Amino acid sequence: MHSHHNGLKTAVLFAGIWAVLLGLGWAAAAYFRSSALILVFALLGLVTTFWSYWNSDKLAIRAMQAYPVTEAEAPAMHRIVRELSQRANQPMPRLYVSPTAAPNAFATGRNPRNAAVCCTEGILSILDERELRGVLGHELMHVYNRDILTGSVAAAIAGIISSVGQMLMFTSMFSGGRDDDRPNPLVGLVMALLAPLVAAVIQMAISRTREFDADEDGARLTGDPLALASALRKLEAGVARAPLAPTPRLQNASHMMIANPFRPQDVSALMSTHPPMAERIARLEGMATGMMPR
């Protein structure tokens, strides 16, 4: 069990986002007087989730324009990932490099046998091998903890809620009145505005809890929490120097990255997919203190 109970937090947050989806389905069913809409939304959620999960590796790698690298092209990456995969008794993922100066890394793929780990050219240029090992340990634990599934489910459901919310908002605004047995259009309008915001906040909270777990589990895998802490400090400074533009393509992949790739002013703390770096570093330093021999 993790010291910060992130597994329980994730389960509670998932219950919350499904409740928002079904609540929005209930509102649509009441407005259109069709109880089948609740089932439709639930099925739509499952189908969209499966598609996103199955294609998560292709989508993220394409978003970052990454290319596969051989052992001759990236010997340190291959050596580190092979050693850590063997230590975890897991298959070695495919390795990619993204041709961008912004320092970052991410893992993706539907399971350990169909996984990929990607580093940007920027991160490879600023980290030493010990720090890179800490980052790669973090990314491998995202794969082994099935965080790609977790993130895909949360993103897919949040996307459905946003789409349904837009539909309800349009209908409430332009329905031209209402029947006596239908809900007040203002109620539908309020739900249409609030539900996507609530879903997005929950999705971000899920992502933040998974980052804490990957930090902790990755540090245990490498046996060197301070290496990851040092890497996170460099990443925070590196992203500040070379942030990515928050385009829709990159926003869909940003939650997979080890560091938020955007400028702080481009995303509020509430909507951030990553916990504050200072808190992550402090937890890792606390781990290192606890792991020291007495």
H or E element in which residue 205 lies: helix 185-222
Catalytic residue among 139, 211, 216, 279: 139
Angle, to 10 degrees, between the axis of helix 185-222 and the axis of helix 75-88?
Answer: 90
Could you tell me where the DSSP H helices lie in 33-91? Answer: 36-54, 56-63, 75-88
Chain centroid offset of residue 113 CA: 20
Per the annotation, the verdict on 139 as an active-site residue is yes
Do 107 and 88 touch, CB atoms closer than 8 A? no
The pair of structure tokens assigned to 41 is: 């939304």
CA 9 to CA 101: how far, in whole Å? 34
CA 156 to CA 179: how far, in whole Å? 33
CA 200 to CA 194: how far, in whole Å? 10
**So which residues are the catalytic ones?**
139
